[in-house]
Structure 1
Amino acid sequence: MENVKFIKNGISKLPPGFRFQPTDEELVFQYLKCKILSYQLPASIIPEINVCNYDPSDLPGNYGEQDRYYFSSKETKYRNGNRMNRTTKSGYWKATGSEKKVIRISSSISNNNVGLAGIRKSLVFYKGKSPNGSRSDWIMHEYRLVNVESNSSHQKYVKEIGDWVVCRIFMKKRRNVDKYSVSIMNQPRFFDFMRVHNAAPGPMITSSSSSTSTEVSSSDQTSGYIC
Protein backbone atom coordinates (compact mmCIF):
# COMPACT_ATOMS: atom_id res chain seq x y z
CA MET A 1 0.00 0.00 0.00
CA GLU A 2 1.41 3.35 -0.99
CA ASN A 3 2.13 5.71 1.86
CA VAL A 4 -0.13 8.75 1.68
CA LYS A 5 1.32 12.10 2.77
CA PHE A 6 -0.83 14.75 4.40
CA ILE A 7 1.94 16.87 5.93
CA LYS A 8 3.14 20.19 4.55
CA ASN A 9 5.58 22.48 6.36
CA GLY A 10 5.14 20.51 9.57
CA ILE A 11 1.35 20.85 9.53
CA SER A 12 -1.03 17.96 8.89
CA LYS A 13 -3.86 18.80 6.52
CA LEU A 14 -6.62 16.39 5.58
CA PRO A 15 -9.02 16.82 2.65
CA PRO A 16 -12.52 18.10 3.47
CA GLY A 17 -14.70 15.40 4.98
CA PHE A 18 -11.82 13.37 6.43
CA ARG A 19 -11.09 13.06 10.15
CA PHE A 20 -8.09 11.51 11.89
CA GLN A 21 -9.48 9.76 14.99
CA PRO A 22 -7.21 6.82 15.84
CA THR A 23 -7.69 4.65 18.91
CA ASP A 24 -4.99 4.23 21.55
CA GLU A 25 -4.12 0.84 20.09
CA GLU A 26 -3.78 2.25 16.57
CA LEU A 27 -1.60 5.14 17.74
CA VAL A 28 0.80 2.82 19.54
CA PHE A 29 1.03 -0.14 17.15
CA GLN A 30 0.24 1.38 13.75
CA TYR A 31 2.11 4.67 14.12
CA LEU A 32 4.50 4.83 17.07
CA LYS A 33 5.81 1.28 16.63
CA CYS A 34 6.35 1.82 12.90
CA LYS A 35 8.06 5.15 13.58
CA ILE A 36 10.49 3.67 16.10
CA LEU A 37 11.25 0.50 14.12
CA SER A 38 11.54 2.43 10.82
CA TYR A 39 8.60 0.63 9.24
CA GLN A 40 6.37 2.29 6.66
CA LEU A 41 3.62 4.35 8.27
CA PRO A 42 -0.02 3.81 7.24
CA ALA A 43 -0.10 7.51 6.28
CA SER A 44 2.14 10.53 6.79
CA ILE A 45 -0.35 12.44 8.91
CA ILE A 46 1.56 13.01 12.18
CA PRO A 47 4.27 15.70 11.97
CA GLU A 48 7.56 15.62 13.90
CA ILE A 49 7.64 18.44 16.45
CA ASN A 50 9.31 18.90 19.81
CA VAL A 51 6.15 19.65 21.76
CA CYS A 52 7.98 21.38 24.61
CA ASN A 53 9.39 24.00 22.25
CA TYR A 54 5.87 25.47 22.03
CA ASP A 55 3.08 26.52 24.31
CA PRO A 56 -0.02 24.44 23.46
CA SER A 57 -1.80 27.44 21.92
CA ASP A 58 1.20 28.07 19.63
CA LEU A 59 1.50 24.52 18.29
CA PRO A 60 1.14 24.33 14.50
CA GLY A 61 -1.92 22.60 13.15
CA ASN A 62 -5.54 22.98 12.22
CA TYR A 63 -7.35 24.71 15.08
CA GLY A 64 -10.67 23.59 13.62
CA GLU A 65 -9.90 20.05 14.76
CA GLN A 66 -10.31 19.23 18.42
CA ASP A 67 -7.33 16.86 18.71
CA ARG A 68 -3.83 17.36 17.34
CA TYR A 69 -1.16 14.66 17.08
CA TYR A 70 2.63 14.94 17.01
CA PHE A 71 5.70 12.74 17.04
CA SER A 72 7.94 14.27 19.70
CA SER A 73 11.49 13.27 20.60
CA LYS A 74 12.38 12.23 24.13
CA GLU A 75 14.34 15.24 25.30
CA THR A 76 15.69 14.54 28.79
CA LYS A 77 15.64 17.24 31.45
CA TYR A 78 19.11 16.38 32.72
CA ARG A 79 22.08 15.06 30.76
CA ASN A 80 22.56 11.94 32.88
CA GLY A 81 18.90 11.30 33.71
CA ASN A 82 15.86 9.70 32.13
CA ARG A 83 13.32 12.32 33.20
CA MET A 84 11.80 14.08 30.20
CA ASN A 85 11.88 17.84 29.82
CA ARG A 86 8.30 19.18 29.96
CA THR A 87 8.99 22.92 30.30
CA THR A 88 7.75 25.30 27.60
CA LYS A 89 8.24 29.03 27.00
CA SER A 90 5.61 30.17 29.51
CA GLY A 91 4.62 27.05 31.43
CA TYR A 92 5.07 23.33 31.92
CA TRP A 93 3.29 20.00 31.52
CA LYS A 94 2.50 18.15 34.74
CA ALA A 95 1.54 14.48 34.94
CA THR A 96 -1.83 13.65 36.46
CA GLY A 97 -3.55 10.40 37.35
CA SER A 98 -2.13 6.93 36.80
CA GLU A 99 -0.61 5.59 33.61
CA LYS A 100 -2.73 3.40 31.34
CA LYS A 101 -1.42 0.28 29.64
CA VAL A 102 -2.25 -0.10 25.93
CA ILE A 103 -2.12 -3.62 24.50
CA ARG A 104 -3.12 -5.30 21.27
CA ILE A 105 -6.45 -6.98 21.91
CA SER A 106 -5.94 -9.40 19.02
CA SER A 107 -2.48 -10.52 20.11
CA SER A 108 -1.94 -13.64 22.18
CA ILE A 109 -0.09 -13.10 25.44
CA SER A 110 2.14 -15.85 26.82
CA ASN A 111 3.29 -16.17 30.40
CA ASN A 112 6.97 -15.95 29.55
CA ASN A 113 7.00 -13.12 27.03
CA VAL A 114 4.29 -10.48 27.07
CA GLY A 115 5.92 -8.50 24.25
CA LEU A 116 5.35 -4.96 23.06
CA ALA A 117 2.86 -2.69 24.76
CA GLY A 118 2.08 0.98 25.05
CA ILE A 119 1.92 3.32 28.05
CA ARG A 120 -0.40 6.33 28.04
CA LYS A 121 0.45 9.16 30.40
CA SER A 122 -1.97 12.07 30.98
CA LEU A 123 -0.59 15.57 31.53
CA VAL A 124 -2.08 19.00 32.21
CA PHE A 125 -0.53 22.28 31.07
CA TYR A 126 0.20 24.86 33.78
CA LYS A 127 0.99 28.51 33.04
CA GLY A 128 3.89 30.01 34.96
CA LYS A 129 6.78 28.41 36.81
CA SER A 130 6.63 25.16 38.75
CA PRO A 131 5.32 24.53 41.34
CA ASN A 132 3.17 27.68 41.48
CA GLY A 133 1.69 27.61 37.98
CA SER A 134 -1.99 28.05 37.23
CA ARG A 135 -3.82 25.08 35.73
CA SER A 136 -5.18 25.46 32.19
CA ASP A 137 -7.67 23.46 30.11
CA TRP A 138 -4.98 21.97 27.86
CA ILE A 139 -4.59 18.19 28.13
CA MET A 140 -1.93 15.94 26.61
CA HIS A 141 -1.93 12.16 26.25
CA GLU A 142 1.62 10.94 25.78
CA TYR A 143 2.09 7.45 24.31
CA ARG A 144 5.30 5.47 24.76
CA LEU A 145 6.32 2.08 23.38
CA VAL A 146 7.65 -0.44 25.91
CA ASN A 147 8.77 -4.05 25.97
CA VAL A 148 7.29 -6.15 28.76
CA GLU A 149 9.17 -9.32 29.66
CA SER A 150 9.12 -11.80 32.50
CA ASN A 151 11.98 -13.88 33.86
CA SER A 152 12.03 -17.40 35.25
CA SER A 153 10.59 -16.11 38.53
CA HIS A 154 7.62 -14.63 36.63
CA GLN A 155 8.69 -11.12 37.52
CA LYS A 156 7.76 -8.59 34.83
CA TYR A 157 10.16 -5.95 33.55
CA VAL A 158 9.19 -2.89 31.51
CA LYS A 159 11.73 -1.23 29.25
CA GLU A 160 11.05 1.78 27.07
CA ILE A 161 11.88 1.46 23.38
CA GLY A 162 12.97 4.14 20.97
CA ASP A 163 13.50 7.90 21.10
CA TRP A 164 10.00 8.93 20.07
CA VAL A 165 6.61 9.41 21.72
CA VAL A 166 3.22 10.26 20.22
CA CYS A 167 1.39 13.21 21.77
CA ARG A 168 -2.33 13.84 21.52
CA ILE A 169 -3.16 17.40 22.59
CA PHE A 170 -6.63 18.84 23.03
CA MET A 171 -8.60 21.43 24.96
CA LYS A 172 -10.77 20.20 27.80
CA LYS A 173 -14.42 21.15 27.39
CA ARG A 174 -15.82 23.41 30.08
CA ARG A 175 -19.22 22.78 31.59
CA ASN A 176 -19.64 25.70 33.97
CA VAL A 177 -23.44 26.03 33.88
CA ASP A 178 -24.97 27.14 37.17
CA LYS A 179 -28.25 25.79 38.57
CA TYR A 180 -30.14 29.01 37.78
CA SER A 181 -29.19 28.82 34.10
CA VAL A 182 -30.26 25.17 33.98
CA SER A 183 -33.65 25.97 35.55
CA ILE A 184 -34.24 28.77 33.04
CA MET A 185 -33.30 26.49 30.16
CA ASN A 186 -35.70 23.79 31.41
CA GLN A 187 -38.71 26.13 31.76
CA PRO A 188 -41.45 25.80 29.09
CA ARG A 189 -41.37 28.46 26.38
CA PHE A 190 -44.58 30.05 25.09
CA PHE A 191 -45.13 31.17 21.53
CA ASP A 192 -47.98 33.52 20.53
CA PHE A 193 -48.92 32.28 17.06
CA MET A 194 -52.18 34.29 17.00
CA ARG A 195 -50.21 37.50 17.43
CA VAL A 196 -48.02 36.61 14.46
CA HIS A 197 -50.90 35.84 12.08
CA ASN A 198 -53.54 38.36 13.30
CA ALA A 199 -51.36 41.27 14.24
CA ALA A 200 -52.91 44.66 13.40
CA PRO A 201 -50.84 47.74 12.55
CA GLY A 202 -49.70 49.72 15.53
CA PRO A 203 -48.54 48.75 19.01
CA MET A 204 -50.17 45.78 20.71
CA ILE A 205 -50.00 47.44 24.16
CA THR A 206 -51.36 50.99 24.59
CA SER A 207 -51.08 53.30 27.55
CA SER A 208 -54.02 55.43 28.68
CA SER A 209 -53.33 59.14 29.15
CA SER A 210 -55.73 59.39 32.12
CA SER A 211 -54.33 56.43 34.03
CA THR A 212 -50.96 54.95 34.83
CA SER A 213 -52.24 51.42 34.22
CA THR A 214 -51.58 49.61 30.93
CA GLU A 215 -54.41 48.16 28.84
CA VAL A 216 -54.06 45.30 26.40
CA SER A 217 -55.84 45.75 23.07
CA SER A 218 -58.64 43.41 21.98
CA SER A 219 -56.38 41.66 19.50
CA ASP A 220 -54.41 40.23 22.44
CA GLN A 221 -57.50 39.01 24.28
CA THR A 222 -58.17 36.38 21.66
CA SER A 223 -54.58 35.22 21.40
CA GLY A 224 -53.82 31.56 21.98
CA TYR A 225 -50.72 30.22 23.71
CA ILE A 226 -49.30 26.80 23.40
CA CYS A 227 -46.39 25.16 25.22
Structure 2
Amino acid sequence: MLPPGFIFQPSDQDLVVHFLLRWIHGLQLCRNVVQEADVYTREPEALLRGRQKAYFFTTLRPSSRNSSQVARRAGSGTWRLNTSKQGVPIKLAVAGGYKVIVWFKRHLSFHLSNAKNSTGFVMDEFALSSRHAPSSAKGRPGQQVLCVIRQTQKAINDAAKRKRRQLETWSPPPTPAAGVRKVPDARLQKLQLLYIFRSMKRWGLTTSEEEEKLKDLMHDPQVDANHPAIKNMVAQFLNRASHLDLIHHDSLS
Protein backbone atom coordinates (compact mmCIF):
# COMPACT_ATOMS: atom_id res chain seq x y z
CA MET A 1 0.00 0.00 0.00
CA LEU A 2 1.05 3.62 -0.51
CA PRO A 3 1.98 5.87 2.42
CA PRO A 4 -0.76 8.28 3.60
CA GLY A 5 -1.11 11.28 1.30
CA PHE A 6 0.29 9.55 -1.79
CA ILE A 7 -1.86 8.79 -4.84
CA PHE A 8 -0.91 6.27 -7.52
CA GLN A 9 -1.36 8.11 -10.84
CA PRO A 10 1.04 6.54 -13.35
CA SER A 11 1.13 7.38 -17.05
CA ASP A 12 0.70 4.65 -19.66
CA GLN A 13 4.44 4.62 -20.18
CA ASP A 14 5.07 4.30 -16.42
CA LEU A 15 2.78 1.28 -16.25
CA VAL A 16 4.57 -0.49 -19.10
CA VAL A 17 8.20 0.40 -18.36
CA HIS A 18 8.23 0.32 -14.56
CA PHE A 19 5.62 -2.37 -13.90
CA LEU A 20 4.65 -4.64 -16.80
CA LEU A 21 8.18 -5.03 -18.19
CA ARG A 22 9.62 -5.74 -14.74
CA TRP A 23 6.85 -8.23 -13.90
CA ILE A 24 7.36 -10.15 -17.14
CA HIS A 25 11.11 -10.45 -16.50
CA GLY A 26 10.67 -11.35 -12.81
CA LEU A 27 12.29 -8.18 -11.49
CA GLN A 28 11.46 -6.59 -8.14
CA LEU A 29 8.47 -4.25 -8.14
CA CYS A 30 7.95 -1.23 -5.92
CA ARG A 31 5.24 -1.96 -3.38
CA ASN A 32 2.04 -3.86 -4.05
CA VAL A 33 0.11 -1.25 -6.04
CA VAL A 34 -0.37 -3.60 -9.00
CA GLN A 35 -1.66 -7.02 -7.91
CA GLU A 36 -1.70 -10.35 -9.70
CA ALA A 37 -5.24 -11.62 -10.40
CA ASP A 38 -7.10 -13.82 -12.87
CA VAL A 39 -9.02 -10.92 -14.37
CA TYR A 40 -10.94 -13.08 -16.84
CA THR A 41 -12.59 -15.36 -14.28
CA ARG A 42 -14.00 -12.76 -11.87
CA GLU A 43 -16.44 -9.95 -12.53
CA PRO A 44 -14.99 -6.42 -12.29
CA GLU A 45 -17.23 -5.60 -9.35
CA ALA A 46 -15.58 -8.34 -7.29
CA LEU A 47 -12.09 -7.27 -8.35
CA LEU A 48 -12.59 -3.59 -7.52
CA ARG A 49 -14.24 -4.24 -4.12
CA GLY A 50 -15.73 -0.76 -3.93
CA ARG A 51 -12.73 1.04 -5.44
CA GLN A 52 -13.19 3.27 -8.47
CA LYS A 53 -9.98 2.08 -10.16
CA ALA A 54 -7.50 -0.76 -9.66
CA TYR A 55 -4.44 -2.22 -11.43
CA PHE A 56 -3.80 -5.92 -12.10
CA PHE A 57 -1.28 -8.23 -13.74
CA THR A 58 -2.84 -11.19 -15.54
CA THR A 59 -2.03 -13.81 -18.16
CA LEU A 60 -4.39 -14.26 -21.11
CA ARG A 61 -6.03 -17.71 -21.30
CA PRO A 62 -7.36 -19.63 -24.32
CA SER A 63 -11.14 -19.84 -24.76
CA SER A 64 -10.78 -23.61 -25.22
CA ARG A 65 -8.07 -26.23 -25.55
CA ASN A 66 -5.70 -25.55 -28.48
CA SER A 67 -7.60 -22.34 -29.29
CA SER A 68 -5.83 -19.15 -30.35
CA GLN A 69 -8.76 -17.06 -29.09
CA VAL A 70 -8.54 -15.31 -25.72
CA ALA A 71 -11.17 -16.18 -23.08
CA ARG A 72 -12.70 -12.88 -22.02
CA ARG A 73 -15.78 -14.15 -20.22
CA ALA A 74 -15.88 -13.25 -16.52
CA GLY A 75 -18.72 -14.54 -14.34
CA SER A 76 -22.08 -13.65 -15.86
CA GLY A 77 -20.61 -11.17 -18.33
CA THR A 78 -17.99 -10.69 -21.02
CA TRP A 79 -15.27 -8.14 -21.71
CA ARG A 80 -15.75 -6.88 -25.26
CA LEU A 81 -12.96 -5.30 -27.28
CA ASN A 82 -13.50 -1.72 -28.45
CA THR A 83 -10.23 -1.86 -30.40
CA SER A 84 -8.72 -4.47 -32.70
CA LYS A 85 -7.56 -7.79 -31.26
CA GLN A 86 -3.97 -6.56 -31.45
CA GLY A 87 -4.78 -3.16 -29.94
CA VAL A 88 -3.63 0.37 -30.65
CA PRO A 89 0.17 0.55 -31.18
CA ILE A 90 1.97 3.00 -28.90
CA LYS A 91 5.23 4.39 -30.27
CA LEU A 92 8.13 5.63 -28.19
CA ALA A 93 10.74 8.10 -29.42
CA VAL A 94 14.33 6.80 -29.30
CA ALA A 95 17.77 8.19 -30.12
CA GLY A 96 18.05 9.63 -33.59
CA GLY A 97 14.44 10.77 -33.71
CA TYR A 98 13.11 7.34 -34.64
CA LYS A 99 9.94 5.95 -33.10
CA VAL A 100 9.46 2.28 -32.30
CA ILE A 101 6.37 0.37 -31.22
CA VAL A 102 6.96 -0.70 -27.63
CA TRP A 103 3.47 -1.73 -26.52
CA PHE A 104 -0.15 -2.12 -27.56
CA LYS A 105 -3.17 -0.77 -25.69
CA ARG A 106 -6.55 -2.47 -25.90
CA HIS A 107 -9.75 -0.89 -24.56
CA LEU A 108 -12.61 -3.12 -23.38
CA SER A 109 -16.03 -2.70 -21.78
CA PHE A 110 -17.95 -5.20 -19.64
CA HIS A 111 -21.35 -6.44 -20.84
CA LEU A 112 -23.82 -8.80 -19.16
CA SER A 113 -24.99 -11.75 -21.28
CA ASN A 114 -26.00 -10.39 -24.71
CA ALA A 115 -26.77 -6.87 -23.49
CA LYS A 116 -26.01 -4.18 -26.06
CA ASN A 117 -25.05 -1.51 -23.53
CA SER A 118 -22.04 -1.71 -21.23
CA THR A 119 -22.44 -2.11 -17.47
CA GLY A 120 -20.22 0.93 -16.94
CA PHE A 121 -17.10 -1.07 -16.10
CA VAL A 122 -14.23 -0.42 -18.53
CA MET A 123 -10.67 -1.68 -18.84
CA ASP A 124 -7.41 -0.75 -20.53
CA GLU A 125 -5.19 -3.75 -21.29
CA PHE A 126 -1.48 -3.10 -21.90
CA ALA A 127 0.71 -5.64 -23.71
CA LEU A 128 4.34 -5.38 -24.83
CA SER A 129 5.10 -5.78 -28.52
CA SER A 130 6.56 -9.15 -29.51
CA ARG A 131 9.96 -7.50 -29.96
CA HIS A 132 10.13 -6.52 -26.30
CA ALA A 133 8.20 -9.39 -24.68
CA PRO A 134 9.46 -12.97 -24.24
CA SER A 135 5.90 -14.35 -24.29
CA SER A 136 3.68 -15.48 -27.17
CA ALA A 137 2.32 -13.49 -30.10
CA LYS A 138 0.38 -10.27 -29.65
CA GLY A 139 -3.14 -10.61 -28.28
CA ARG A 140 -2.97 -14.40 -27.94
CA PRO A 141 -3.31 -16.78 -24.96
CA GLY A 142 -0.22 -16.92 -22.79
CA GLN A 143 0.55 -13.23 -23.16
CA GLN A 144 1.25 -11.38 -19.92
CA VAL A 145 -0.60 -8.08 -19.67
CA LEU A 146 -1.37 -5.26 -17.26
CA CYS A 147 -5.03 -4.31 -16.82
CA VAL A 148 -6.47 -1.07 -15.47
CA ILE A 149 -10.11 -1.57 -14.44
CA ARG A 150 -12.35 1.31 -13.47
CA GLN A 151 -16.04 1.98 -12.98
CA THR A 152 -17.74 4.90 -14.63
CA GLN A 153 -20.49 6.95 -12.99
CA LYS A 154 -23.06 4.65 -14.60
CA ALA A 155 -21.64 1.64 -12.75
CA ILE A 156 -21.60 3.54 -9.45
CA ASN A 157 -25.21 4.68 -9.86
CA ASP A 158 -26.42 1.20 -10.85
CA ALA A 159 -24.70 -0.37 -7.84
CA ALA A 160 -26.28 2.15 -5.45
CA LYS A 161 -29.73 1.52 -6.90
CA ARG A 162 -29.27 -2.26 -6.71
CA LYS A 163 -28.16 -2.20 -3.06
CA ARG A 164 -31.04 0.09 -2.14
CA ARG A 165 -33.48 -2.34 -3.75
CA GLN A 166 -31.97 -5.27 -1.84
CA LEU A 167 -32.29 -3.44 1.48
CA GLU A 168 -35.90 -2.43 0.80
CA THR A 169 -37.01 -5.93 -0.18
CA TRP A 170 -35.28 -7.72 2.71
CA SER A 171 -37.61 -9.36 5.20
CA PRO A 172 -36.93 -11.37 8.38
CA PRO A 173 -37.12 -15.19 8.28
CA PRO A 174 -40.66 -16.69 8.45
CA THR A 175 -42.17 -17.75 11.75
CA PRO A 176 -40.94 -21.26 12.60
CA ALA A 177 -43.39 -24.13 12.44
CA ALA A 178 -44.66 -25.89 15.58
CA GLY A 179 -42.00 -27.93 17.28
CA VAL A 180 -39.15 -25.81 15.89
CA ARG A 181 -37.23 -23.69 18.35
CA LYS A 182 -38.13 -20.04 17.83
CA VAL A 183 -35.30 -17.55 17.50
CA PRO A 184 -35.72 -14.72 20.04
CA ASP A 185 -36.73 -11.32 18.68
CA ALA A 186 -33.49 -9.79 19.94
CA ARG A 187 -31.49 -12.36 17.96
CA LEU A 188 -33.54 -11.71 14.80
CA GLN A 189 -32.94 -7.98 15.15
CA LYS A 190 -29.21 -8.59 15.48
CA LEU A 191 -29.22 -10.86 12.42
CA GLN A 192 -31.03 -8.16 10.43
CA LEU A 193 -28.44 -5.60 11.47
CA LEU A 194 -25.60 -8.00 10.60
CA TYR A 195 -27.09 -8.69 7.13
CA ILE A 196 -27.49 -5.00 6.37
CA PHE A 197 -23.97 -4.24 7.62
CA ARG A 198 -22.37 -6.92 5.46
CA SER A 199 -24.30 -5.73 2.40
CA MET A 200 -23.14 -2.15 2.97
CA LYS A 201 -19.54 -3.20 3.71
CA ARG A 202 -19.23 -4.99 0.35
CA TRP A 203 -19.67 -1.61 -1.31
CA GLY A 204 -17.31 0.27 0.99
CA LEU A 205 -20.15 2.12 2.74
CA THR A 206 -19.19 1.40 6.36
CA THR A 207 -16.44 2.52 8.70
CA SER A 208 -14.09 0.57 10.96
CA GLU A 209 -15.65 2.32 13.98
CA GLU A 210 -19.10 1.02 12.97
CA GLU A 211 -17.69 -2.49 12.60
CA GLU A 212 -16.23 -2.40 16.14
CA LYS A 213 -19.52 -1.07 17.51
CA LEU A 214 -21.40 -3.86 15.75
CA LYS A 215 -19.14 -6.52 17.29
CA ASP A 216 -19.90 -5.16 20.77
CA LEU A 217 -23.66 -5.24 20.09
CA MET A 218 -23.54 -8.81 18.76
CA HIS A 219 -21.88 -10.12 21.93
CA ASP A 220 -23.84 -8.07 24.47
CA PRO A 221 -26.63 -10.23 26.01
CA GLN A 222 -28.27 -7.12 27.47
CA VAL A 223 -29.04 -5.72 24.00
CA ASP A 224 -32.60 -6.63 22.98
CA ALA A 225 -34.74 -5.92 19.93
CA ASN A 226 -35.81 -2.51 21.26
CA HIS A 227 -32.35 -1.33 22.19
CA PRO A 228 -31.80 2.20 20.78
CA ALA A 229 -28.26 1.33 19.63
CA ILE A 230 -29.59 -1.32 17.24
CA LYS A 231 -32.45 0.85 16.00
CA ASN A 232 -30.13 3.80 15.40
CA MET A 233 -27.59 1.75 13.47
CA VAL A 234 -30.27 0.18 11.24
CA ALA A 235 -31.74 3.62 10.59
CA GLN A 236 -28.28 5.02 9.74
CA PHE A 237 -27.63 2.34 7.11
CA LEU A 238 -31.09 2.72 5.54
CA ASN A 239 -30.69 6.51 5.38
CA ARG A 240 -27.27 6.10 3.80
CA ALA A 241 -28.73 3.80 1.18
CA SER A 242 -31.57 6.28 0.56
CA HIS A 243 -29.02 9.06 0.04
CA LEU A 244 -27.17 6.98 -2.54
CA ASP A 245 -30.46 6.31 -4.34
CA LEU A 246 -31.14 10.05 -4.48
CA ILE A 247 -27.71 10.60 -6.02
CA HIS A 248 -28.59 7.98 -8.63
CA HIS A 249 -31.88 9.66 -9.53
CA ASP A 250 -30.30 13.14 -9.63
CA SER A 251 -27.62 11.93 -12.02
CA LEU A 252 -30.30 10.70 -14.43
CA SER A 253 -32.41 13.85 -14.33
1:101 aligns to what?
A: 89
Equivalent pair of 1:25/1:102 in contact (CA under 8 Å): no
- Figure out how many residues of one structure are paired with residues of the other and give that number: 147
In 1: Cα distance, 2:102 partner to 2:16 partner: 8
1:65-85 deviations in Å (ceiling 9; x for gaps): x32100011111122222211
1:163-182 to 2 correspondences below 5 Å: 163-173=143-153
Matched residue, 2:172 = none
Q: Which residue pairs with 2:4 in the alignment?
A: 16
- Which ranges in structure 2 are unaligned for 5 or more consecutive residues? 155-253
Is residue 29 from structure 1 mapped to residue 17 from structure 2 by the alignment?
Answer: yes
Greater strand share, 1 or 2?
1
Q: Using the TM superposition, give the Cα deviation of residue 90 of structure 1 relative to its aligned residue in structure 2, in angstroms.
A: 1.0
Divergent runs of 4+, >6 A: none
Deviations 1:11-39 (A, max 9, x none): xxx33211111111111111111111122
Instruction: Report the alpha carbon displacement of residue 173 of structure 1 after superposing the two structures with TM.
Output: 3.4
Runs of at least 5 residues in structure 1 that lack an aligned partner in the other structure: 1-5, 7-13, 150-157, 175-227
Q: What are the equivalent positions in structure 2 for 1:1-227 lying under 5 Å apart? A: 6=1, 14-61=2-49, 63-64=50-51, 66-97=52-83, 99-105=87-93, 107-108=94-95, 114=100, 117-128=102-113, 131-132=114-115, 134-148=117-131, 159-160=137-138, 163-173=143-153
Contact 1:25-1:103 within 8 A present in 2 as well: no
1:179 corresponds in structure 2 to: none
Q: Could you tell me how far 1:170 is from its partner in structure 2? A: 0.6
Distance 1:109 1:59, change over 3 A: farther
Taking only the aligned residue pairs, the percentage that are identical comes to 27
8 Å contact kept, 2:48–2:54:
no
Instruction: Please say which structure displays the higher CA radius of gyration.
Output: 1
Contact 1:91 1:133 in 2 (8 A): no
TM-score (norm 2): 0.51
Name the SS of the counterpart of 1:120 in structure 2. strand
RMSD between aligned alpha carbons? 2.9
8 Å contact from structure 2 (residues 40, 73) kept in 1: yes
Counterpart CA distance in 1 for 2:72 and 2:96 is 34
Counterparts of 2:54 and 2:19, CA distance in 1 = 14
**TM (normalized to structure 1)?**
0.56
Contact 2:137-2:143 at 8 Å conserved across structures? no
- Structure with the higher helix share, 1 or 2: 2
Q: In the alignment, residue 33 of structure 2 is paired with which amino acid?
A: I
